[in-house]
Every structure is written in C-alpha cells, then in structure tokens.
A and B are shown apart, each in its own frame.
Chain A
Amino acid sequence: MQLFKLLFLLILTPSVVSAEVHEATLNNGMKIFVKEDSRSPVVVSQVWYRAGSIDEVNGKTGIAHVLEHMMFKGTKTSRPGEFSEIIAAAGGRENAFTGADYTCYFQQLEKSQLPVALKMEADRMQNLIITEEEFNKEINVVMEERRWRTDDKPTSKANELMQSLAFVSHPYGRPIVGWMDDLENMHYSDAQEWYNDWYAPNNAILVVAGDVSSTDVFKLAKKYFGNIPSRKIKERKPQIEAKQKGVRRAELKAPSKLSYIQMGYKVPALDKNLDKDSTEIYALEVLAGILSNTSTSRLNQNIVNNAGFAVSASASYAMLTRGGLSLFELYATPSEGVGVEKVEKALKDELAKIVENGVTEDELSRIKTGVIAGDVYQKDSVFYQGMQIGQLETMGYSYKLMDQYTNNIKKVTSEQIQMVAKKYLVDEALTLVTLDPQPLDPNYKPQGKPHVH
C-alpha cells in the first residue's frame, strides 16, 4: 500500500495509442477500459476510484489513504485478509495506492484468473465491513507508515512543508498520508463515511490490460459489477487557490548532514478540455525535461558538474492533475560547505538564462527523440499501460490524450519555453523551503557489545 504524490509518470514517457483501447460503460455508470496485449499470458486489473486526498476536509486528512487500508479488512462474506489470501493462492500480486487525485486497487494474475479479481473488487465495492476493532489496529499501521515515510525523512518533511505553504486553500496543501494529529483522532466511523461518500460504481473505473479479449472483459465486468446500484456522489467544491502575491519561504530543522532546497512555482495544469490551447503546458513540460531529463541536462551539467555547488539537482512538472493547478519544482542538495542561498541563486540563474537566450535545437531534439523512443519502451509494461489509462480517466482527462501528447511535444519551440519561463517562473509565484541540517543527538554513540566502528 503506497501513496503517490502528484504523478510524474507521464512526463515525457507516453505510450499506448488510444485506438487500441476498448471502452464501455455499464448501466450504473461504471466505465470499463481494456487494453489488449497478448505478449505474455498475464492480466492486470485495476479499479480506480475518483477519491483522493483532494476530496478530504480539514480534521480528517489522510482518510482516503486509511480507507484504502481498510479495504483489505473484510466484507459481509469474507474475513479480514481473506482477499489477499485468495489473490495469493491464485498466483497473483495485489496492492493499492492512494494519491491526491485517486485511489487504485490492483491485481496482477495469470490471465485465466481475472474473474477472481473482479469478483473480489465487486464485493468490496459494495459490502465492505469496517469494525472498530480492525480500524483501531490499522490506524496504528498507518501512523507507522507516516513515521517511516515522512517524519523520519527530512526531504519528505521539507516537501510536506512546501506543499502546505504553497497551497493555502487548495487541498493539495495537505499531505496524502494525513497530519499525525488527524490520524490520532480518527474514528472508524470516519472511514465508513468516506466509503459511503465515494465508493460507488459511478465514481469508479475498471482498467484491464493484458492477454484478454475486450468482449470477454466487458461480459465479466457486467456480470460482477453490473448489478451494483449507482449512488448520488457528494458535491465537490472547486476550492480554487487564490493567486499568490509574493515569495513564501520556510525553513525546516531536521537531523541530516546535507542541506536541501526545494522550490515550487505555481503553474497551470493541462485543461480538461483537450481542444483548448495547450501550448504553455507542453512548453513547461519540455522545459522540465531540458532542465533535468538526463545527466547532461542543464541542472546537473551546470550546477552539479561544472560549478560543483550541489551533489544533485533536478526539476519536475506534473502537467496532469485533477485539481487544475500544479507546481513547477526545482530540487537540489547543496555540496558540503555550500550555502543554500548560493544554490538558490544558481537555480534561478539557470531559469534566467533560458528566459534570456532560450534553449538550443539540440536540446529540443533530444527531448523529442526521448519521447518517441519512450513510446516504444513503455509498451514493454502491461501494468504501466493500464496505469496511464486509469490516471488520465480519474483525473478527468480522456485516455485519448495519449494520441496528442507526442505531437504536442514535437511542436514546442524555444520561444514558447522562454515565454512560459518568463511568465510563470517568477518570485511572486514562488514557494521555497530549505533544510537546515542538525547534528544527531550529541550523545550519539554506538552502545552494546562489541563496539561498532
């Protein structure tokens, strides 16, 4: 069970062509997508709910992820853990993950076992049992997960602080795993409420990819999910973030040797209406690639290798989000003895150089070549092909976006990149977090026998 931050998977690595995706809708509103791929006798089944931390409210942060854990705890006709046993005995692997925009449950199986997965998912879509006893154990597991993922990892804590500072009213400011205090005060009825609010066929999609025929999958889907009644889904408030007016800075102290800097500029995400002009979005996407796609990209080449200011430096941009906005982020770990201010300036200088001089034809063509080769390489993973469809559809885009992606990347020009860098990557829209490294406890020394060097 994992958490996904905003997704980075689609960045410069699209794959399937939508012509190969088969689509159907059940009477209850549940959508089914099938990607046939007969290279290997396997199948992946993914049920996606349009319910993620973006749908949470204050005081109950983390509930989307907690419910994901509770989905393994039994239904009217099955014990806690029994689904996992069934999938394991069918030779399968299963797990689930929660993101800001969605929650996904998946199984990977030998192809003849698909009905086992579908039957189980249909059962827990409608018959989940959340007991106080199971909840009270599982919430401790989730708190351990938070400690491991965030509390003891300085860069994760820096990221959490950064998001919460960048987004004041938008729910992207809240951690997917939830604030510890919210987890401590969560009740099993909160999980039940979340399940009642969002777990309905008309708020879910099924993606099946692998050595299957779409006709068979549609029949199976109808058999298992077709009779689940649709329900009215709670109203979603827009929660639009007010325009940022000025740089926001914060510092985090944590045990670490190296410092760290994370910078995020508020930028738009791709519009859900794919007919709208998307020039700026694709320009930002290519810019992120030019800054940090490979070891010879600008940040690594100039800041790490040439200047020696940092031991690592990278950039990212999530162009697809359900929430309609995004951050263009830069990250760097300063070299020992180099201050974060110097690295901040070096990162900003790289942006300024691009605003001033644009990018080279070589840089643009490398990005385009990478995307075209990526089209082929990504077809190697059946799971990933399913994942792309599920993410796009739950975020409110169409999987047909995959048809346009490569062409739109190819069209990006140096002038467009200069334009978006100048327009969006400005101090007024910047949030910046630095890590001030603290020594471990001064009493830190190995104990016990024998002495460890």
Chain B
Amino acid sequence: MYIRKILFAVLFLIVGTVSAGVKIENWITADGAKVYFVENHNLPMIDISVSFKAGSARDSLKNSGTASFTNHLMLLGSGGIDEVSLANQFTDIGAQLDSSFDRDKSSFSLRTLSEKKDIAIKLFNQVLHKPDFNENVITREKKRYYASIRQGETEPSSIASKAFMKAIYGNHPYAFPESGTVSTLESIKRSDLKSFYSNYYLSNHLSIVIVGDVDINAAKEIAEKISLGLPNNPKASFYPEVQITEPQEIKISHPSTQAHLYYGGPVVKRGDPDFFPLYVGNYILGGGGFVSRLTGEVREKKGLVYSVYSYFMPMLELGPFQVGLQTKKDQIDEALALVKKTVKDFIQNGPTEKELQAAKSNMIGGFPLRLDSNKKIIEYISMMAFYNYPLDYLDTFADQVNAVTVQKIKAAFQKRVDMNKFSTVIVGIE
C-alpha cells in the first residue's frame, strides 16, 4: 500500500502541468504546399522532411510496386548527376539524405549542418525535382527488389503480414504489398515511373516540415524553393473508401519453430472523431508495453510469448486495428483464444477507472518524451502536417486525453471494434 500512495501522488503532480513547449508556425507556399516550421537554435543543424501523397495505395493491382520503386529510384540519380556523385556530394558536406515509404506516403528527409545548408538544400531540391530514373539503375534495382520479395516469401512474419493485409482489404489498394510483386515489377518501365512521378508528386499534395537552426524568413525561402516547379493539380483524385471484407481465417504452414498470428480488421481513419477514446483504450488493451492487458494475460501470467501487442493505425482511409504475437507452434491455439477473450472482455466491459487514470497519467506525463529531440519533433510534426491535424493538436493533446472516460472508451470500442468482422492469419501451423 506504500507504493500505491506514490502512484496517486504522481498522478496528482503531473496531470495538467505539462505543456507542449513546441511552437509551430505554418503557412502555404505559392505553389500550394503546406509548411510546418519549428525554429530551434539549440544545435547548429537543420532537419527537413517532405511527404507526398504517393504511397503504395496509388498503385493498381496491375502495376503494384510502381509507387515504392519511384520513391526508391529518386535517391539514385537526378539532374543528370549519377547516383555515386550525388551521394558523395551529400557525404562531402556531412549531410544525410534519406527516404521512407508506406501505403499513404512517400517521404524524403535531409539533415544538414546549418553552415552547409545552402548547398545541402540545393542538392535536396535536385533530388525532389529532377529524378533521372536511369535505365541501368532500374534494371539493377529491379533484381534487388525481386530478391527481397522472394526472400520475404520464405519469412513467416512477412508471409503473415502480406496475407493479413490481403485478407482485411480485399480489392482496396491497401491490400497490395508495398513493394509490389515480382510479376508486376517486371512489367514496370521507365515511362511508368516518370508518369507516376508527374501524376502524384504534386505541390498541392506536399507537406514540408522544417525544424532547427534557421529563422522564419529563411524557412519560407526554403519551402518556396522545395515546392517551386512541382505540378499543382487540384483535381488529383484520392483512392476509394475501404469496404469491409468478410472475415477470413487463413492458416499457412511453415517450418519455423514459432507460429505468427495477426488478428484484426480496418477500423480507423486519421481525424476520426473516436480517435482519442480508441487510442487511450488501446494503451490499456495492448499498446502500453509491460502494463497492457494483453501483455499481462498472454505474457506475464502464462509465459506464452515474448511480444504481444495491439494497435490502431489511422491512415488516409480506414487503417487497421491489429493484434500480433508469435509463440511456439503447439501454443498458438491457446494464445489466440486468450487474445480473443481479452479483446472481447475489453469491448464488453471497457477498462477500469484505475486503468484509465494510469493510462492518462502516462500519456500526459510522458508527453515531453515525444518531443525531446529535433528528430522526434520532425517525425511527429510531419505526421501532423501530412494528415492535416489541427495546429493546436500538441497544445490540446492533454485536454483531449483527459476528456476520455471509461464510458467513452467502452462506447467507442463497442461501436467501432467488431470482432465478428475480424480476420485471423496464422503462419507456421504444424
């Protein structure tokens, strides 16, 4: 009981006292790109991140992989400068260029010392504006894609994840594997990459985030130059809404020692009004590391797994709610039954008041940890910019979390999380 006292003291201490402490400026460039900017002179460096709505959901079934391959090729030669010279020019000034990719986004990031910013940004713009899509590089990189895809076909986690997305998304583009398939990639030509680039690397679908050692006037100039010259097409379409598929139970054999389980379905979009009750609720159910219910039931009490988790991944269209775990093959039925029982109980009864208080105090008290480096700030704010979060999101985060109640979690889960529609994928049955 000694410890419990401390627990309450802690709750009392932190709720409501934490402010975001990050001031975001925002504007739209002349070419229609959204810009979020955080000025911060603590270190002599600048981070820039740009994201286009050019993820794999832009692919069709026939040309699946085009979006990913475009993103990949953009780092490998531009403006007539070959990949080696280009990469060396970045390295020679100590700048770091990187790219990332998922179903919704194609992103590029630059980290540079402030003293090298002019040359670094010039190179970065060249990468964004003038990709060469060199034929030889295409041929070579296709082989690497094939190898990686075929390797994935032998790995249980990769098999399971592809089967799961296919099961829950049916014909929707979210069902396509992000990197495509060997047969679709084989048919992709240089002209396909060029037209994908000009169709989807649009200034009005671009979000730019700048964090670090630069003032607002310089940041404005940087953002203008990034968006300048990219096509602006207000009529550019979005992909369709997700249709919920029939629940499926897919079991695939594999010579692994563990079986891999994925369980869930499409549930939540970015900007969803139920987001906070679902998000806080999931922290209690399976998102909160060692203190979540799923970890407690499946790992701590039974010793069935090393890792078990659940998450909601809000996307431009309905993103998945997903539970995942791996366990020794002969324990998979027991583990799945326990997962279903735990999720079902949570939907029916919601969390306890005590669990909710603990969740709130973690999320609110731990908020500064989400923004304690320029790298984390730019990642967080890029997500906000891309998905159109309100500018006061960081400032109102604590209030939004605080407003969640046991009843609201229960209601949101009962309305949104329908186990009758969930699919199950197990790879590694005996």
Contacts and interface: CB of A to CB of B under 8 A. Distances in A.
A437 B95 CA distance: 38
B154 A440 contact: yes
Contacts of A274: none
A47 to B, nearest CB: 17
B92 A446 contact: no
Category for how many chain B residues contact A: 35 or more
Interface string A84-119: 111011111111000000000000111011001000
B285 to A, nearest CB: 14
A91 B43 contact: no
Interface stretch (A143-151, A192-200, A275-283, A406-414): A143-151
B393 to A, nearest CB: 18
Contact of B253 (A88, A380, A447): A447
A441 B255 contact: yes
Given A84-B289, A296-B87, A39 B328 contact: no
A336 B88 contact: no
Interface of A: 39-42, 72, 77-78, 80-82, 84-86, 88-95, 108-110, 112-113, 116, 136-145, 147-148, 151-152, 255-258, 294-296, 301, 304-305, 308, 311, 333, 335-336, 362, 365-366, 369-370, 372-374, 376-377, 379-382, 437, 440-441, 443-450, 452-453
Given A147-B258, A152-B257, A256-B151, A446 B250 contact: yes
A246 B61 CA distance: 54
B10 A144 contact: no
A138 to B, nearest CB: 7
A109 B11 CA distance: 14
Interface in B225-260: 248-258
Contacts of A440: 154, 254-255
Interface in B134-165: 140, 143-144, 146-148, 150-151, 153-154, 156, 163
B167 A452 contact: yes
Contacts of A377: 45, 96, 111
B382 to A, nearest CB: 16
A140 B88 contact: no
A140 B300 contact: no
Nearest to A146: B306
Given A257-B154, A296-B87, A88 B288 contact: yes
Contact of B6 (A116, A255, A445): A116
A151 B259 CA distance: 12
Contact of A141 (B7, B18, B143, B299): B299
A322 B267 CA distance: 49
15 contacts: A40-B373, A91-B363, A91-B366, A94-B290, A136-B303, A140-B303, A295-B83, A304-B144, A369-B92, A373-B96, A379-B43, A440-B255, A445-B253, A452-B163, A453-B166
B288 A376 contact: no
B15 to A, nearest CB: 10
Contacts of B144: 304, 311
B147 A92 contact: no
A81 B368 contact: no
Nearest to B365: A91
B290 A72 contact: yes
Most buried by B among A370, A377, A453: A377
A444 B428 CA distance: 10
Nearest to B427: A446
A344 B96 CA distance: 30
Interface string B272-300: 00000000000000001111000010011
B301 interface: yes
B91 A335 contact: no
B221 interface: no
Contacts of B369: 42, 91-93, 108-110
Interface in B334-366: 358, 361-366
Contacts of B306: 141-142, 144-145, 148
Dominant secondary structure at the A interface: mixed
Contact of B305 (A94, A116, A144): A144
A438 to B, nearest CB: 8
Contacts of A42: 368-369, 372
Contacts of A381: 373, 375
Contacts of A258: 147, 150-151
B374 A148 contact: no
Contacts of B366: 91-93, 109-110
A200 B363 CA distance: 34
A110 B299 contact: no
Contact of A147 (B42, B248, B257, B358): B257
B84 A40 contact: no
A148 B43 contact: no
Contact of A88 (B147, B290, B372): B290
Interface string B400-411: 000000000000
A441 B300 contact: no
Contacts of B3: 77-78, 82, 86
A101 B45 CA distance: 34
Interface string B288-325: 11110000100111111111000000000000000000
Given A86-B6, A91-B365, A380 B374 contact: yes
The 4 closest A-B pairs by CB, nearest first: A91-B365, A373-B94, A140-B303, A91-B366
A447 B167 CA distance: 13
B91 A294 contact: yes
Contacts of B249: 448-449
A237 B372 CA distance: 42
B295 to A, nearest CB: 9
A86 B94 CA distance: 42
A94 B362 CA distance: 12
Contact of A366 (B2, B21, B91, B111): B91
